[in-house]
Each structure stands twice: as structure tokens, then as C-alpha cells.
Chains A and B, each alone.
Chain A
Amino acid sequence: MPEILERRTIIHSTLHTSAPIQEPEMVEPRRLHTEEMVLNVGPQHPSTHGVLRLEVILDGELVVDVIPHIGYLHRCFEKHAEHMTYPQVIPYVDRMDYIAAMSGEHGYVTAVERMMNIEVPEKVEYIRVLFAELQRIASHSIAIGTYGLDAGAFTPFLYLFRDRETILEMFEKTCGARFLYNYMWIGGLSHDLHPDVLPMCREFVKQSRATHKEINNLLTFNHIFMERTAGIGVLDPQVAINGGASGPMLRACGVKWDVRKNDPYSIYDRFDFDVAVGSSEYATLGDSFNRHWVRMQEWEQSLNIIEQILEQYPINDTTDVQSAIPKRIKPDGEIYSRTETPRGELGFYIVGKGDVKPWRVKPRSPAFSNLSLLPLISRGYLIADLIVILGSIDIVLGEIDR
């Protein structure tokens, strides 16, 4: 305001004096100063994927800073683990990353088995890997489907949920539960594979490949979707490693890091598959599009693994899947063991003191670490891009808050 007043007085004074009219002195207009606004997104918001609250500081439509507030789903996993016996912890692990419960169980039972040096029968390992990979597809289906919702595409969500139901049906036939299974036990499984599952699985692989192609046409290479996601939320690989990113978030930056390859567990060393990484062919390395693209590729790789399992699966093996379950589970010592879940590196740091209950179970939850990078990658973008960036991280609040 003062500048304008000043200018006016100059013009006024020049008009009312007898002095020769001069060009009024122009005052350099200062940069328009806008006030920063704080916008609260969540904990109830259609696009926060759960009860996450974001305190967004905006300059107009530009995001100046994002402060995530978490803990709205803190269900005291670590306290419960201290009060339960080792097998009783498994249902709580299910409820931690509820979208990929099988993968979570796989991580936990692998950690306890490594602590106790349990050799698991080959058949059990095959079933575990089969289910973990099916779960990866189911989880990526939700991630891709809801990401489409965030970017304004509704139809892929319906297609993907239709396919996901097939996977859940296979799980349900085998262990009775649709969603949270308590299926993998320490040293074994709760039930043997249902005879219908392998034929269903063969059928599913065919159907899923078709859906994969369809989603690529509908969503991935959709011009609107690419415009919304390409070049948005770019993460540098060095920053990603330093910030503890893992899973698709890290691989989208071009870092070839997959626990299944770098620190093999179970029988993953028997299968031939590629580690999906982001590419600069379609968009900037490390951006939101590449995170989605890595998920699409991983879906295909999981199908490859499932096909190899279907070939190699020992059908005539009649081993009891509960034969290796130990009678006494009282491990001593401590371990950090990690597995690759759909969201990244899920590790368990377990301290046992020779008791039936663990002294301490601390999970390294991948979504927690990935979300902590959100402020870093969303500064300077528009508020609409923030939703796209958040969707590309693929968070599960149950795992973040535990």
C-alpha cells in the first residue's frame, strides 16, 4: 500500500506545480506478499488412506510445508507382543499391515524360525511363497486402485477389486479367513493347501495377466494420469537411502534393492525374477509415476514367480504341514530379520530371554519410514499434487502407527 500512496503523491505534486512536467519516478513494486495459510487434511478425509492428518502450510496453492501427524491408529502392538506368547503374536502381526497380512506373517515367522534354527519342510516354503506373492498382487491391486481414485479414475478400482476377490477366495478355501489369516505358524502352517487352489491359481494367472494389460491401457498410459503423476514428487536416490525408504519407493529412484534378492529368505533364491526399478523412459526417475510403474512391474514379476511355483510345487509330497512346529517355543538371544512386503522392507527386531513371551518385538515398518519422506518430496508442488504424492507412497496406517 505505501508504494501506491507514494506514487500518487508524486503524480499529484507534479500536476499542481509550475515546474516542468517530469516523468513521475516509478517505484519498483515489491514482490506481492501473500499470507501463508494452514490447511488441515484429515484425520477424516476421503483421500488420506486411513486416519492420517496432514497439516499443510500453503502459499496460495503452493505447498510450503507438510507436517504429518500420525498415531490415530496406534494399537499398542509392541506392548501386546510383550504380553503374548510367540505364536499368539501372529494375529497382531496380521492386524499391523492389514492389506498384506500374509507378508507380515511371513516376516514374523521367518524371524522366530531364524532365532530357533528351525528347518521348515520344502512344501511349507512353497505354500508360503505362493501365498506371499498372491498377497503382493492383492495389496498392489488396492494400491493401484486407490491411486486411480486419487488421480480421478474410478473404473480401475472396480476391476482390481474383482480380481482381488479371487485371491481372497483362494486364501479362504485354504485357511477359512478372508482377510486376516493367522495362517503361517512358527515352523509350519495352520492348514494344508486346499486341492482347489492350484487349478484356481492357474486360472487366476491367466486372468491377472489380462487385467494387468487392461490396467496399463486404462490407467498407466492414460494421458491424463501421466500428466497428473509424471515429474511430481521427485525423490533423489541418495536422499531416499539416507531417509530409510524401501520397497517401490526406493526402487522407483532406480536403486536396485530388494530383500528377496539382496538378503534372500525362504526359497526366493530358486526363482528367476527381475527386481523392478523405475525408468526414465516415461517420466523422471523417482517421481510418482515411477512408483506406480514399479508396482505394475512387480505385479508381473509376482505372476512369473507364481508360474514357477506352479511348475515346481511338490504335488505328491504328503508331509504334514504342522510336522516341524516345535513343542516349546522359548528362543533365547536376539535377532533382526527382514523380508520384502509389498510396501518395502519389513524387519523384526526380537529379543527373547528364554521365556514363552518375547522380551521385546520391534517391527521396522516400511510405510512409517516412507511416510517420513513426504514433507521432503511434496514441498513446492500444488495442493492437488500433494494428494497424488501421498497416494503414490501407498501407506497403511495400521503399520505406521502399529
Chain B
Amino acid sequence: MTHSEIIVLLRSRFGDAIGQWHDMSSDNAYQRQMGSYLDVTEPGVIQKLAFFLRDEKGLEFNNLILLSTLDNSDGSLSVVYHVESTQYQHELTFKVTLPRDNAKVPTVCTVWSHANWHEREAWDMMGIRFEGHPDHRRILLEEDYPGHPLRKDFREPDFYHGMKVPY
């Protein structure tokens, strides 16, 4: 399926929750998985959307390539999902934007188990809560580490467990 067909299908199913399609294909010679992405305006719909993408005949996005996060430094955070279908060899990028002080989104690790560790990392690094995640702990840093380092306003602590941190 081409991107436009996928978007028409998603709009007919999810209506207003599907936002704008940012098409960048003219800017870039590389056609697969390039910068085009779909905005999802309603965070609550993410899990249903993920199930639909995985199970709908003709779409079958069975592989979550990457779940990444962005700090837009305008008071919002984004979660970016790259998914692809190994059978039909098509892929889609969709992005959901969340308020910084109450960043919450339903988990997709019930859909793609690959998301499990990536969501833990997103919580660890960016401070985004994934509702319904089975094991919602930090993954890379210790539990008592102050703050979420990949937020743009993060400042490293002066001391950690009695060890001086800055150079």
C-alpha cells in the first residue's frame, strides 16, 4: 500500500484523531522510511491504532522498528513510532505530541513486544509515562537518579552517591 492509501484508510477508521501528513518525499531522494510522518492528535487512540495497524488485512505492520522520543522545547514532548510490514515491505512513521508536565500515552508493548524496553527507555530518558506498561521501571539509569536527562532543560547533579559528577 502507498502512504496515501494507508492514510485514507486510517482517516476513515479513526476520523479526527489522525492529523496532518507531513510529506517530505520531494526533499529527499531516498524514498523508503524518509522524513514523512503522520501526526496523531489524540494520544488516547494510540493503542487502538497500533492494533489496527498490526491486524488489519493489507496493512499488517508486524514490526515496530523503533520507538523514539523528542523534546520539542516548546513545552511538548513527542513519541515517534516507526513501523513496517515485513510481508508487504511498506512502512509508516507516526508521531504523537504530549504536554511536557503530564506526558502520558497508552503502551503499545501489548501489540509489539519490542516496545517493552523502548518504552522503559523513553520513561527513563524523557519522562514519558506509558499507561498499562507491565514493568514500568527505569532501564538505563538507577532508580534514584534525579531527572530525565534527554529533556533539553536537564542539568546534571553536582553529586551522586557521594561522587562528584561535573568535571
Contacts and interface: CB of A to CB of B under 8 A. Distances in A.
Q: Is any CB of A less than 8 Å from a CB of B in the complex?
A: yes
Contacts of B52: none
Contacts of A239: 113
A364 B138 CA distance: 18
A61 to B, nearest CB: 26
B65 to A, nearest CB: 6
A349 B68 contact: yes
Contacts of A316: none
Interface in A216-259: 239, 241-244, 255, 257
Contact of A78 (B29, B114, B150): B150
Contact of B114 (A71, A242, A257): A242
User: Which bracket fits the contact residues of B?
Assistant: 35 or more
B97 to A, nearest CB: 14
Contacts of B125: 78
B140 A334 contact: no
A114 B63 contact: no
A241 B62 contact: yes
A368 B125 CA distance: 15
A347 interface: yes
Interface string B74-96: 00000010100010010001000
A114 B149 contact: no
B65 A347 contact: yes
A364 B65 contact: yes
Interface string B27-70: 11110111101000000000000000000000000111110111
Interface string A76-96: 101100000000000000000
Nearest to A365: B66
A335 interface: yes
A115 B66 contact: no
B21 interface: no
Interface in B1-49: 24, 27-30, 32-35, 37
Nearest to B138: A71
A262 B84 CA distance: 12
A338 B140 CA distance: 24
A71 B68 contact: no
Given A74-B140, A79-B150, A244 B28 contact: no
Contacts of B140: 70-71, 74, 401
A280 interface: no
Nearest to B37: A334
A239 B112 CA distance: 9
A351 interface: yes
A294 B49 CA distance: 36
A76 B147 CA distance: 14
Nearest to A360: B70
A100 B17 CA distance: 42
A337 B93 CA distance: 12
A372 interface: yes
B156 to A, nearest CB: 9
A117 interface: yes
A262 B50 CA distance: 24
Contacts of A351: 70
Contacts of A297: none
A369 interface: yes
Contacts of A204: none
A364 B126 CA distance: 16
A333 B141 contact: no
B116 interface: yes
A362 interface: yes
A262 to B, nearest CB: 7
A336 interface: yes
B35 A79 contact: no
A143 B149 CA distance: 32
A244 B141 contact: no
A333 B30 CA distance: 13
Nearest to A264: B32
A263 interface: yes
B139 interface: yes
Contact of A362 (B66, B117, B138, B139): B66
B62 A364 contact: no
Contact of B34 (A241, A335, A345, A401): A335
Interface in A345-402: 345, 347, 349, 351, 359-360, 362, 364, 368-369, 372, 401
Contacts of A333: 24, 27-28, 35
Nearest to B73: A359
Given A242-B62, A347-B66, A114 B34 contact: yes
8 contacts: A117-B28, A263-B33, A333-B27, A334-B37, A335-B33, A337-B30, A351-B70, A362-B69
Given A241-B86, A244-B114, A372-B116, 8 more contacts: A70-B139, A76-B149, A241-B63, A242-B63, A244-B63, A334-B35, A336-B34, A336-B82
